Amino acid sequence: MAVKPQRNPSSRSSKATASAKSPPVTDKQARIRTETQAAKSLVAKAAIAKPHVALVLQGGGALGAYQAGVYQALHEHNLTPDWVVGTSIGAINAAIIAGNPRETRLARLREFWDRVGQADAIDMSKVPDISRQLNIWLATMETYTRGVPGFFAPRAANPFALGMHVTPEDASFYDTAGLAGTLNELIDFDYLNASGGMRLTVSAMKVICGSLVNFDSRRRRIGVEHIMASGALPPGFPAVRVDGDLYWDGGMYSNTPLETVLEDEPRRDTICVMVDLWLADGAEPTSLEEVQTRQKDVTFASRSQAHIDSYLRTSKLRSAARALYARLPPELQDSHDLKDLKALGKATTIHVVRLQYTGRDWNMASKDINFSRGSIGWRWEQGYNDALRALEGCKESLFEPDDSGIVIHDFRPAADIVSCA
């Protein structure tokens, strides 16, 4: 496996070429200009190479606004995904992206996050970072007690909360009927399921056996129930019944469905943008808050490295099959019995562009239920800026074939990557 070393492009001031009357170019303006030019260069290469583009979105509640920012950068630079794969909040973002035509896609995504955003108790722009923890606490308490409009609401006189038996669809602290209504308003399911449209895959876990099921628009019609099932995290949210079976949040089994892309057939050259919301690596916790935060990060962080290692082993076998096939005499190469050997050895390259939400100033255990508008806006902006930097960092190497079959372009901050060796 090739891992391309990445760096955050430094800010650069453009050379003074304008007249003396022109205002000086700031570092921020120069950086945005450089990143935009790099993104346009990347899109031009993509138009020539015509790679298959996949967008993989992790589950993470309110942190999903970061993914929306990443998509905005791709959208503005015409790097449109052919396939969107998501779990939980990633499934919601993915369904909104795939379920709307290009001209309304970003607006619908923005409308969803505007709906679920809660007013800040304090003006986030006028307080130091440490004071924002108070705002997080207040936003969290509001979520616990009142829910999130257009998403979920606490059940009144809930016997489940008292330990009593209820129907499986009512076995939760919150009612998610609001989310169903929101999704039906913001997603055109006829458009989503139309032949030749953007492919959508969302994952959910079957309650009775714990197996992961992918609902794929290439194989079945996707409805609001499939999106709801992917985000049905117990005990907060109720299980959702699909075709007679109960499902919970797919993140309980695999919160970053990268393997869905790696295992897809037929294989093809692919650019896979993977957006992580939880930090798999982190420092040793020294307080209760840090323990709870670390526990949540580890529980829902990406297990993608295991899938990448497995894919790498398979790629080595494909390489061996390719070499063996090339050594066969022509009469054996055309043999019906050996046709599978040729198909197995087909050379393809997957470029995985890995982005990571960090959000250190809001790094609390309740961060995934912090729907304050200030936090949502900041996450969106961070995702947008991170995606622009990634586009610039990848511009020279994203379309190069690689003998290993997979190349990782890791744009996680170096401080967030801890060796477990």
DSSP state of 124: G
Sequence-distant (6+) residues with CB within 8 A of 131 are 122
Q: Above 60 in pLDDT, residue 264? A: yes
Give the pLDDT confidence of 359-377 residue by residue, as tens digits.
765 567 888 998 988 889 9
Band (pLDDT 50/70/90 cuts) for residue 308 is: confident
Domains of the chain, each with CATH number or no CATH: 49-411 (3.40.1090)
Strands, E assignment, 63-106: 83-86
pTM of the predicted protein model: 0.84
| CA 131 and chain centroid, separation | 29
Residue 359 token pair: 């959000």
- 394 vs 8: CA distance, rounded Å: 11
- Alpha-carbon distance 118 to 374, whole Å? 9
pLDDT exceeds 60 at position 112: yes
Nearest-angstrom CA–CA distance, 419 and 4 = 17
Instruction: Output phi, psi for 228, to 5 deg.
Output: -60, -40
Nearest-angstrom CA–CA distance, 238 and 153: 12
Residue with tokens 């930090």: 279
Angle between helices 102-116 and 373-394 (to 10 degrees): 140
- What is the token pair recorded at 403? 């003998």
Contacts 24+ apart (CB under 8 A), 146-149: 147/174, 147/178, 148/116, 148/118, 148/178, 148/371, 149/115, 149/116, 149/178
Residue 384: pLDDT band (50, 70, 90) is very high
Instruction: For residue range 216-251, list pLDDT tens digits in order.
Output: 999 999 999 999 999 999 999 999 999 999 999 999
**Nearest one of 297, 218, 294, 230 to 257, comparing CA atoms:** 230
* 17, 235 Cβ separation under 8 angstroms: no
